[in-house]
């Protein structure tokens, strides 16, 4: 019976950690695509035409901007699908991690068995790490998405044609909208959320401690 419980526990832990790493990897990919896009926008009016043909023509710059806009829209659709898939799973992970963190901390503090307390203290990094993985990756996506607007403002739009300037304004307006991933379509996932979840776990732990000391 104990062996079955150990195997089942390891199996569930592997599935949970694998799912967390999968979503984190996808978010890292989205952030990398946004960073590449920002680099392309910054180089508008310079590359690749400068090296090949000399100064780029207004039409060439405008076409490159249109390709950047199309890429931006594809990335936004990709992140939207990621949000739909990840949102309920992230919410479940956050709720479970808060409860596990609270119970584990309580067990580590009030258990009289030193070995059990040390084991619980060692385990504390697991729920914290799983939550931080989501929060760090999602925060990175939001930062890179905001950088697209900055890149559009910093490109060589002053010397561009009127239609180029108009397209840049549209791109900036769209990129300024925060790209925030959420848990359960309610709770924003970012670094501040990680601190909030840790504080919530500690609050529940303190409440359990007060009840236990009565």
pLDDT at residue number 123? 78
- Could you list the mean pLDDT of each consecutive 10-residue stretch along the chain, which spans 214 residues? 67 76 94 94 66 65 89 95 94 90 83 76 82 94 93 80 86 89 91 91 85 78
Domain segments of the chain as ranges: 17-213
Continuous segment of H or E residues that includes residue 187: strand 187-188
Q: Which residues have CB under 8 Å from 97's CB, separation 6+?
A: 127, 128, 130, 131, 197, 201
The pTM is what?
0.83
């Amino acid at each position: 019976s104990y062996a079955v419980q150990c195997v089942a526990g390891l199996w569930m832990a592997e599935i949970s950690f694998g799912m967390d790493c999968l979503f984190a990897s996808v978010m890292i990919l989205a952030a990398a695509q946004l960073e590449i896009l920002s680099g392309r926008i910054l180089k508008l009016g310079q590359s690749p035409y400068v090296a090949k043909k000399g100064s780029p023509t207004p039409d060439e710059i405008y076409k490159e901007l249109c390709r950047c806009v199309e890429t931006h829209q594809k990335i936004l659709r990709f992140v939207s699908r990621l949000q739909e898939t990840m949102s309920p799973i992230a919410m479940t992970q956050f709720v479970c991690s808060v409860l596990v963190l609270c119970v584990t901390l309580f067990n580590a503090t009030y258990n009289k068995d030193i070995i059990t307390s040390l084991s619980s203290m060692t385990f504390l990094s697991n729920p914290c790490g799983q939550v931080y993985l989501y929060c760090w990756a999602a925060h990175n996506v939001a930062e890179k998405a905001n950088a697209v607007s900055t890149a559009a403002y910093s490109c060589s739009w002053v010397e561009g044609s009127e239609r180029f300037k108009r397209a840049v304004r549209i791109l900036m307006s769209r990129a300024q909208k925060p790209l925030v991933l959420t848990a359960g379509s309610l709770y924003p996932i970012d670094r501040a959320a990680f601190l909030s979840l840790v504080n919530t776990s500690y609050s529940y732990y303190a409440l359990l401690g007060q009840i236990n000391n009565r």
